[in-house]
């Protein structure tokens, strides 16, 4: 018999073991306890049970002999060797192990030593618990009677068993004729009498129990409803590690709702009141601890899970909404020029779902109606063309919206939640520190989950003052190296004296977190002053103790979003809000104008983040301290210099204070370009100097502090992209990114479930794996390639080809082996390891598996498009090998594009005997046509896309994008190597070329970025700043 290892995220096994072994002096240990081995040795010797809590995925090697029960006889007694010591082994010793991990991966060598038990609460188990709780509160007499009956029934069964044992004993010990044995006959007759009495009692009990059960079942709907809610919050931790909620917390909330919701004698009405009260109470309590980005997600999850339970939403339709379906090839050509290929592919996969049969074949006939829908400003509010409006439910319409207009899915989801739940479920309650404090007690820490730019300390200090806990009654400490013992002393004195303790930045003190967990577990209401409170602040971190998160009160307080709110916050913050400081400058005109420009700049650089890579390649966390130091420097320089020193101000603000955070050169160019708009002579000399072409945003005339606030309050709530220097299409990009982020986050919370009607997961995996394997060509023969294209002085491209083949071979090997093993694992021929499980999950979600990404070129495509793209790249190299170098190279098809560009320069350098480090490229965008001949010098390349602008084929200049067309395919470009000094000067925009639309990359060991390829020059008739602010770049591949 092996010792049990219980998977116990809700702490049920812990509770059960502690109750069961209470009378046997149970010892509870953790692997982090310094003396756990000594405790274990004592318990093994004296035969007392041990509970080892909170183990991770690896167990301490010292436990091995204990788990394998490697006992031996020594001097007549049974012994075991633990570490260095040999100790006696008592036969009464019992060992229990529990882990809080939700989905641990134990290696086979651990699994064979223990008995794994899953104590995760099930839907049915939770329903029973909640039913018991609600009946005990609403009809206590029923629950009391039910409990009595359960005990009585157990007692009756015990007595019957005793009687049976007694009879068997009499029969076995009786000698001779049993009818002559008076004692035996007496025992048998009294047993029969007793057995009859017990049976009668049992019958009565069962009849009563049946009656009670019928009465209890009236409360079943609320128990089912609430357990669906619990499982909606259980997996939120997969999105952010701080979203942890315990079963005990959930049950307490449930009990509070029973007590504080409106009463009614009518059972149906009462249940309805309780349902709506508890759902909203849970929503408010969970929302308090969620980031803004996840609040709508949570409402939508609640809504969908309740509807899935009532069978109003089909699993396969839900999966389609999240993934857009899984498919590799689409044999049906796209009939509409205005519809993107990605949308058409999704629409074709939608045709496979039963409710949407025929949508693909009818699309061509109904194109005018769909075009009108596609062009609508608010398609989510339009009626769907033809009979689709009546045929489809509200949820099913979201699926079509996902295919045709993914940028409008979020407003569609908001309408759906309002319709199915209520409007209040999309209006999260505002941050309320007093309410959060009211929900806490001396043993429950209050936890601020931090976000960039948000600092709750000012609000907390003010609240402490209001509560009478300011000054000496509040001690604060920022955690870090060596701060642990100080924090410990503060907590001890706080517990004694009833003061507040604030520990900031817990994420920086990873090694001290187990100590914090131990402190929080040992907090006892009997020994802790009731006024004591522990406040913790931390960025999301997987090292933060789960038990502290589950038992604490979690809060997020993010800085206000939006340009307007941001500028107001700057004017109301320190030091600008200080009247003395505001009016302490010698040059008041320059000071007020440049200050307003600086605050506008501060808001602008923060708000650009919402546009993703169009805004910044890397989303920097600019915060109040950057503004504060820049404001003080501005005043200091204005006071000390006669002339305004613009160059010095630009350098300090743009390159040091804000630029100090910037690690990407292209972002630095953008930052400096934006600052030039505000730190310039025009802002001082022109009246109402405008910040954007519409004239809505300008620098107001001089006035007092309030005058500026009034102007800012009159600005629109939602700024148009033009204020950021962006095209109107940038809003579409932003909305699509929000939709993708929402669906990706929801996918993290979804377990792998089989859809009822469609194919099982195993069938889908088998189908996709065999499809990809059938299409995957054999590995390249690199030796043959070297023979055919040897390394020569005059042709560097031979080396490029062979190196590319080597790189792609590495990728193909991983793809092929993982798919072969997935198929074997489905059949049970190999173990489904955690790596293979990740591959399977990714395939079912239509994403590129992590195992492939490690060996792959960067790509953000969904799985089907990625595979097709990979096959196209392999064909490109194979054609090159078979037919020689092509006249026009597909630049996007290279694994390592920089090697190809270096090869082109090297050929030129060797031909004309010029040192390669003196060379650069000149770029010539050619006509849209086929080219059969390679150029004399340099290379022709194809396959690039312009993001954020388009290429005007008539004028051969960059131009503004067409509405809804976010990218534009570039014609063939001639890359001409030239000496840098010989490259002709003309008005161009230096446009960075990236491998993917993500744009951000890391510096690899070769000194090249993993994403940025090269800077190209494109002709333009507009100033370069125009395109810099628009975030225009070239991309090797799109995301679909």
Q: DSSP characters for 216-233?
A: HHTTHHHHHHHHHHHHHH
Which pLDDT score, from 0 to 100, does residue 1006 have? 67
Q: What are the CA-CA distances from residue 796 to residues 801, 910, 924 (Å)?
A: 9, 10, 22
Q: What is the CA radius of gyration of the chain?
A: 35
| CA 10/CA 816 separation, integer angstroms | 40
Closest CA to 809 of 781, 787, 790, 831: 781
**CA 28, CA 19: separation in Å to the nearest integer?**
12
Cα maximum dimension of the chain:
129
List the one residue out of 577, 558, 684 whose CA is nearest residue 292: 558
Residue of higher predicted confidence among 185 and 98: 98
Cα–Cα distance for residue pair 827/34, rounded to 1 Å: 45
In angstroms, rounded to a whole number, what is the distance separating the alpha carbons of residues 985 and 966? 30
In terms of DSSP bridges, do strands 50-53 and 27-30 run parallel, antiparallel, or are they unpaired? parallel
Count of beta carbons in the 10 Å neighbourhood of residue 171: 12
The answer, yes or no, to whether residue 43 has pLDDT greater than 80, is yes
- CA separation, residue 1034 to residues 946, 977, 1020 (Å): 5, 19, 15
Rounded to an integer, the average pLDDT of 110-114 is 90
pLDDT score of 711: 93
Residue 335: phi and psi, rounded to 5, are -80, -15
DSSP code of residue 575: T
Query: Which of 82-86, 149-153, 309-313, 517-521 has the least mean pLDDT?
Result: 149-153
From CA 699, how far away is CA 688, in angstroms rounded? 5
Structure tokens at 431: 């941050």
Please write the tens of the pLDDT for every residue from 843-887.
988 899 999 999 999 999 989 889 999 999 999 999 999 999 999
| Of the ranges 102-111, 120-129, 150-159, 590-599, the best mean pLDDT one | 590-599
Q: Residue 175 half-sphere exposure, CB side, CA atoms within 13 Å?
A: 0
- C-alpha distance from residue 628 to each of 456, 576, 656, 916, 1037 (Å): 17, 8, 13, 47, 41
Residue matched to tokens 């064979």: 112
Q: What pLDDT score does 760 carry?
A: 81
Statement: residue 752 has pLDDT above 70: no
- pLDDT, tens only, 622-670: 888 899 999 999 999 999 999 999 999 999 999 999 999 998 899 999 9
pLDDT of residue 709: 92
SS3 650: helix
Please report where in the chains the tokens 């033809």 appear, as a residue. 386
> How do residues 440-497 score in pLDDT, each as one tens digit?
888 889 999 988 777 788 889 889 998 999 888 999 999 988 899 999 999 999 999 9
For residue 8, report the phi and psi dihedrals to the nearest 5 degrees.
-140, 65
pLDDT at 148: 82
Backbone dihedral region of 436: left (phi > 0), alpha (psi from -120 to 50 degrees) or beta? alpha
The pLDDT of residue 817 is above 80: yes
pTM: 0.84
pLDDT of 289 strictly over 60: yes
Q: What is the number of H-type helices and E-type strands within the chain?
A: 40, 24
The answer, yes or no, to whether the previous bond of 575 is cis (omega within 30 of 0) is yes
CB of 368 closer than 8 Å to CB of 401? no
At residue 753, does pLDDT exceed 60?
no
Give the per-residue pLDDT at 778. Answer: 95
Rounded to the nearest 10 degrees, what angle do helices 292-309 and 315-323 cross at?
A: 160
- In angstroms, the CA 308 to CA 338 distance is 35
Counting Cβ atoms within 10 Å, is residue 1007 exposed (0-12), middle (13-18) or buried (19+)? exposed
Angle between helices 123-138 and 220-234 (to 10 degrees): 130
Task: Give the three-class secondary structure for 820.
Answer: helix
Task: Annotate 842-857 with DSSP letters as a single string.
Answer: HHHHT---HHHHTTSP
Share of residues in the chain with pLDDT > 90 (%): 56
Q: In this structure, what token pair is assigned to residue 442?
A: 């001396």
- Separation between Cα atoms, residue 858 and residue 854, nearest integer Å: 9
The helix/strand/coil state of 1000 is: coil
Distance of alpha carbon 246 from alpha carbon 237, whole angstroms? 11
Taking the CA atoms of 840, 844, 845 and 847 in sequence, report the sign of the dihedral they define.
positive
pLDDT single digits (tens) 187-211 = 788 888 888 888 887 788 788 778 7
Closest CA to 604 of 715, 724, 691, 722: 724
Which of 103-107, 341-345, 841-845, 901-905 has the least mean pLDDT? 103-107
Q: Is the predicted pLDDT of residue 615 greater than 60, yes or no?
A: yes
- pLDDT of 209: 79
> Which two tokens mark 428?
């999260």
């Amino acid at each position: 018999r092996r010792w049990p290892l219980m998977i116990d995220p809700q702490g049920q096994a812990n509770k059960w073991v502690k109750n069961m072994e209470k009378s046997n002096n149970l010892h509870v240990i953790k692997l982090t306890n310094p003396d756990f081995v000594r405790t274990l040795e004592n318990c093994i010797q004296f035969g007392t049970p041990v509970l080892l809590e909170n183990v991770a995925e690896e167990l301490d090697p010292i436990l091995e002999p204990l788990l394998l029960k490697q006992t031996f006889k020594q001097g007549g007694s049974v012994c075991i060797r633990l570490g260095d010591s040999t100790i006696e082994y008592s036969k009464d010793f019992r060992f229990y192990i529990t882990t809080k991990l939700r989905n641990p991966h134990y290696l086979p060598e651990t699994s064979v030593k223990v008995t794994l038990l899953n104590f995760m609460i099930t839907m049915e188990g939770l329903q029973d618990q909640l039913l018991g709780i609600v009946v005990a509160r609403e009809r206590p007499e029923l629950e009391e009677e039910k409990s009595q009956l359960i005990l009585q029934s157990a007692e009756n069964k015990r007595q019957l068993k005793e009687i049976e044992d007694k009879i068997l004993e009499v029969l076995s010990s009786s000698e001779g004729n049993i009818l002559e044995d008076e004692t035996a006959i007496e025992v048998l007759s009294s047993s029969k009498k007793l057995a009859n009495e017990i049976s009668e009692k049992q019958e009565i009990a069962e009849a009563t129990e049946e009656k009670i059960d019928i009465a209890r079942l009236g409360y079943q709907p609320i128990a089912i409803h609430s357990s669906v809610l619990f499982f909606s919050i259980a997996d939120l931790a997969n999105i952010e590690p701080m979203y942890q909620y315990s079963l005990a917390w959930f049950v307490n909330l449930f009990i509070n709702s029973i007590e504080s919701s409106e009463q009614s004698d009518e059972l149906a009405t009462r249940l309805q009141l309780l349902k709506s009260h508890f759902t909203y109470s849970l929503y408010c309590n969970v929302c308090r601890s969620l980031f803004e980005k996840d609040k709508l997600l949570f409402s939508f999850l609640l809504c969908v899970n309740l509807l899935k339970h009532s069978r109003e939403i089909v699993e396969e339709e839900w999966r389609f909404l999240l993934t857009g379906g899984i498919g590799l090839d689409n044999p049906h050509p796209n009939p509409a020029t205005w519809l993107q290929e990605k949308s058409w592919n999704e629409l074709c996969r939608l045709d496979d779902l039963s409710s949407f049969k025929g949508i693909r074949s009818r699309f061509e006939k109904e194109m005018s109606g769909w075009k009108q829908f596609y062009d609508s400003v608010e398609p989510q509010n339009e009626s769907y063309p033809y009979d689709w409006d009546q045929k489809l439910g509200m949820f099913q319409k979201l699926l079509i919206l996902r295919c045709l207009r993914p940028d409008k899915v979020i407003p569609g989801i908001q309408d759906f939640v309002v319709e199915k739940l209520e409007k209040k479920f999309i209006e999260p309650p505002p941050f309320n520190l007093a309410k959060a404090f009211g929900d806490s007690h001396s043993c429950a820490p209050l936890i601020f989950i931090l976000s960039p730019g948000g600092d709750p300390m000012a609000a907390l200090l003010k609240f402490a003052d209001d509560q009478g806990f300011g000054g000496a009654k509040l001690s604060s400490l920022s955690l870090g190296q060596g701060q642990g013992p100080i924090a410990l002393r503060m907590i001890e004195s706080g517990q004694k004296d009833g003061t507040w303790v604030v520990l900031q930045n817990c994420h920086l003190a990873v090694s001290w977190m187990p100590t914090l967990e131990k402190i929080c577990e040992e907090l006892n209401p009997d020994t802790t002053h009731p006024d004591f409170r522990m406040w913790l602040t931390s960025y999301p971190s997987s090292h933060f103790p789960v038990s502290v998160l589950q038992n604490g009160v979690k809060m997020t307080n993010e800085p206000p979003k939006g340009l307007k709110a941001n500028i107001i916050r700057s004017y109301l913050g320190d030091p600008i809000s200080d009247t003395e400081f505001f009016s302490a400058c010698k040059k008041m005109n320059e000071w007020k104008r440049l200050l307003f420009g600086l605050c506008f700049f501060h808001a602008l650089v923060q708000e650009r983040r919402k546009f993703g890579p169009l805004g910044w390649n890397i989303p920097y966390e600019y915060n109040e301290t950057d503004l504060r130091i820049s404001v003080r420097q501005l005043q200091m320089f204005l006071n000390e210099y006669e002339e305004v020193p613009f160059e010095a101000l630009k350098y300090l603000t743009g390159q040091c204070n804000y630029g100090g955070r910037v690690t990407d050169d292209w972002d630095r160019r953008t930052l400096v370009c934006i600052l030039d708009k505000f730190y310039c002579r025009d802002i001082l000399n022109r009246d109402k100097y405008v910040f954007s072409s519409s004239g809505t945003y300008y620098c107001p005339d001089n006035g007092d502090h309030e005058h500026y606030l009034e102007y800012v309050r009159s600005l629109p709530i939602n700024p148009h992209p033009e204020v950021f220097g962006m095209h109107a299409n940038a809003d579409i990009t932003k909305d699509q990114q929000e939709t993708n982020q929402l669906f990706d986050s929801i996918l993290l919370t979804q377990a792998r479930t089989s859809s009822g009607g469609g194919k099982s997961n195993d069938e889908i995996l088998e189908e996709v794996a065999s499809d990809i394997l059938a299409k995957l060509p054999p590995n390249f023969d690199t030796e043959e390639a070297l023979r055919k294209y040897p390394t020569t002085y005059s042709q560097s491209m031979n080396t490029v080809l062979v190196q590319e083949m080597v790189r792609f071979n590495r990728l193909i090997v991983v793809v092929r082996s993982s798919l072969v093993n997935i198929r074997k694992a489905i059949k049970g021929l190999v173990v489904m390891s955690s790596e293979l499980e990740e591959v399977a999950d990714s395939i079912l979600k239509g994403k590129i598996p992590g195992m492939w990404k490690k060996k792959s070129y960067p790509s953000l495509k969904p799985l089907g498009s990625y595979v097709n793209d990979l096959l196209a790249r392999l064909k490109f190299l194979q054609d090159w090998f078979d037919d020689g170098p092509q006249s026009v190279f597909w630049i996007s098809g290279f694994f390592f594009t920089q090697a190809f560009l270096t090869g082109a320069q090297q050929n030129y350098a060797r031909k004309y005997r010029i040192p390669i480090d003196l060379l650069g490229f000149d770029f010539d965008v050619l006509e849209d046509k086929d080219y059969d001949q390679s150029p004399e010098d340099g290379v022709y390349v194809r396959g690039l896309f312009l993001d954020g602008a388009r290429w005007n084929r008539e004028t051969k200049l960059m131009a503004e994008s067409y509405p809804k067309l976010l990218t534009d395919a570039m014609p063939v470009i001639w890359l001409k190597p030239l000496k840098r000094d010989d490259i002709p000067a003309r008005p161009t925009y230096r446009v960075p070329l990236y491998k993917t639309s993500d744009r951000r990359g890391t510096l690899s060991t070769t000194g090249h970025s993993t994403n940025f390829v090269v800077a190209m020059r494109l002709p333009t008739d507009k100033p370069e700043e125009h395109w810099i602010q628009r975030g225009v770049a070239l991309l090797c591949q799109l995301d679909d």
